[in-house]
Chain A
Amino acid sequence: MAESIVLETRNLTKCFGAVRAVQDVSIVLRKGEILGLVGDNGAGKSTLLKIIAGILQPTSGEIYVDNKKVRFKHPRDAIEKGIYYIPQEPSVALVEQLNVAENFFLNNEPIRKIGLIKLLNWDAFYKETREFIESFGLRFDPYRKVRELSGGERQLLVVVRALYRRPRILLLDEAVSALSVRIKEQIFDILRKYRDRTNASMIFVSHILEDALALCERIYVMRLGKIVFEAPTKEIYGKEELAIKMWRGE
């Protein structure tokens, strides 16, 4: 597969005081690829992802999107390039006080123009939320408050909401690590369908190797801020022990 590279980091480093959370990390993400980034807690996976999403600023190093150097100072800059970030905790991504439809359309609110006045189109809020969520075979009452949803339902909502915005690159930061097997499968299924339909790329961060093996085509292992191992998933099968050794730094 000689697919084009959509995202590349070159020598990314991030220091928190004396701690070097990410050191000299260079990775590439190809078009239509689901890339795994695994490692122990504190390996720097999430920090790396947050830098790509514009949530954190790198201490040094560069990011290239479509071979063009970019500098994200705000998540908004990443979103403009079609990069969406999904955190582990849906409580970070959703506003509990608002209902499903309002969360679904946050910063993307449907508008109806009457003369010069731009009004929110509440009809579209509820109708489109319901239709889009149902297109994935899920059922959500768009009027329900998010605080009434279960953890799994919330994460499904976060994932589906991100997909509605047609991301070119989806960043999943431990997005399924806290979920049951059933919801996990459901989310993997949705992600694969979306990738097959749109040829979007994804980076899947997890501290659970099995999850990454189940979803991703290529895997990087991180340890203490550095990439220590890289291989296509099919080559790792049967050699899981090696990956785990690298993971532990043995």
Chain B
Amino acid sequence: MGFQEIIFHDIKEVFNIEGILLVIANVGVFIAFSIGVPTFATISNIYVIFDFLSVLGIAALAELTVLVGGEIDVSVPMQMAMVAIVTALCSSYKIPTAASLIIAFLIAVLIGCVNGFFTAYIQLPSFLVTLATNALLQGVAIILTRYSSLPIMDMRVLELFYRTSIAGLRINLVWFIVIVAIVAFILKYTRFGRRAYAIGGNPFAPWNLGIDIRKNKLELFLVTSMLSAVAGLILGARAESARADMATAYLLPAIAAPVLGGASLTGGYGSVIRTILAALVLQQLTVGVYALGVEPAMYLVLQGIALIIILTIRIALQYRLYKK
């Protein structure tokens, strides 16, 4: 027993059949688009893919956190937009950067508390609760922006989330890497994270052993909201503006990525690394379709087809697993 044995089992667990398939899918999609689009396999294009991945990846991790606990949050994109809109409004009133970020994150905390409270303590289905908060946020966002886009005029917000580089990496990628590390750490090395898997897998077991599963669930929604806030700020800082519908397109891929990475809608499963690998496949598809120059809506068609194919493969693999 020892360090190496544990690492060996961890790697085996992350790169199970699904993990290997995701690596193959990434390589396959990359090669396919490189053949179809001459500019696809260039450093600058790869940079673009990862630039976009920073937002999708963080949004997907936000979703992963609640999925592990057996819940879902469909209000993630609206939370992202809301945080960006609030920051834009703050900048138009010349509120200091620190204060406006605090306000933005407090709003994220509030949304997370509402989602978590009604799911965990009132025991409503999280799908319905977050659908309701999603509608609420959408309404508020439209009222605040009046169907237009608000500029984010606070230079320091733009610098903090998009416009600077650290050691050659643009800051949004630094945020992405740091957040991947933090979420992976929380899920693997903290009691809170491991209990999230237990609560999602079989809530009776941790409850019988004395775990306060309601509190843990509420905290999961808080983590989701904080991550959504960071994703929203990066998205806003890249566009230098905020609109009510700026993040709507992230809903499906943000849920799809953790699920493709092995998370189950009923909870108990989910891996950070596989989620990021799946998000990378989806992000390559987006960028590739745009690069192909076909109708951009084709991306939605492809995304739908890809999802159904990959999920079918997964179910088939699971059947084989249980038959053995």
A residues with a Cβ closer than 8 A to B are: 53, 55, 74-76, 79-80, 85, 87, 91-98, 102-103, 106-109, 111, 118-120, 122-123, 126-127, 130, 143
* Known A-B contacts A75-B208, A76-B210, A127-B1; A95 and B197 likewise in contact (beta carbons under 8 Å): yes
Interface of B, helix, strand, loop or mixed by DSSP: helix
Q: How far apart are the CA atoms of A123 and B6 in the complex, in Å?
A: 7
Shortest B39–chain A CB gap in Å is 43
> Who on chain B is nearest to A112 by CB?
B189
Residue from the list B5, B204, B206 in contact with A107, Cβ < 8 A: B206
Contacts of A95 in B (CB 8 A): 197-198, 201-202, 205-206, 268
Shortest B216–chain A CB gap in Å is 11
Evaluate contact between A123 and B205: CB separation under 8 angstroms: no
Evaluate contact between A98 and B201: CB separation under 8 angstroms: yes
Count chain B CB atoms within 10 A of each CB in A55, A87, A95 and give the residue with the most: A95
> Who on chain A is nearest to B9 by CB?
A143
Evaluate contact between A107 and B210: CB separation under 8 angstroms: yes
Q: How far apart are the CA atoms of A1 and B239 in the complex, in Å?
A: 81
Known pairs A95-B201, A106-B209. 19 more at Cβ < 8 A? Answer: A55-B208, A75-B208, A80-B210, A87-B208, A92-B208, A93-B208, A95-B206, A96-B201, A96-B268, A97-B202, A106-B198, A106-B206, A107-B209, A109-B194, A118-B190, A123-B1, A123-B6, A126-B5, A127-B1
Could you jot down 6 A-B contacts, CB within 8 Å?
A75-B208, A76-B212, A93-B204, A94-B202, A97-B202, A107-B209
Interface residues on B, range: 20 to 34
Contacts of B205 in A (CB 8 A): 92-95, 103, 106
| Those 4 A-B pairs whose CB atoms lie nearest each other, nearest first | A76-B210, A97-B268, A95-B201, A97-B201
Contacts of A92 in B (CB 8 A): 202, 204-205, 208
Contacts of B293 in A (CB 8 A): none
Q: How far apart are the CA atoms of A176 and B210 in the complex, in Å?
A: 23
Q: How far apart are the CA atoms of A95 and B208 in the complex, in Å?
A: 12
